[in-house]
Structure 1
């Protein structure tokens, strides 16, 4: 698996995922919007933890810093 999500991007994804999960599970609980927000939060959280985003891969985006030091 490839890693293409940087540290700042991961942190932002986790904050957004937590916010969407809160909205989906408590504010809009039981509605279609609540289910959609919860699913989106799950996808964002998984991509943040894994460090990989399929959409970034499709569009050739990489927010991860590349190592400039070689051994």
Structure 2
């Protein structure tokens, strides 16, 4: 499993995940949409931690700096 996410991509995902979490716990979003967005936020954080996104492999994307 090779890294395919760059630093900016990882940072943006964490920021988006934090924003979704804040909106959910401040009850600005809720119900089914809120739960779906929370799951998406968890996926964003996990993929940021491992620097690997399975969807990038399918679409042949790579945001890492090339050597």
> TM-score normalized by structure 1?
0.83
Aligned residues between the structures: 66
Aligned mates of 2:3, 2:65 — CA distance in 1? 10
Bigger CA radius of gyration: 1
Partner residue in 1 for 2:56: 56
Name the residue aligned to 1:66.
66
**Partner Cα separation in structure 2 for residue 49 and residue 2 of structure 1:** 13
TM-score, normalised with respect to structure 2 = 0.87
Unaligned runs of 5+ in 1: none
In structure 2, what is the Cα distance between the partners aligned to 1:35 and 1:50? 23
For residues 7-46 of structure 1, the aligned pairs below 5 Å read 7-27=7-27, 28-29=29-30, 31-46=31-46
Measured in 2, the distance between the counterparts of 1:36 and 1:23 equals: 13
Unpaired runs of at least 5, structure 2 = none
| Pairwise CA RMSD | 1.2
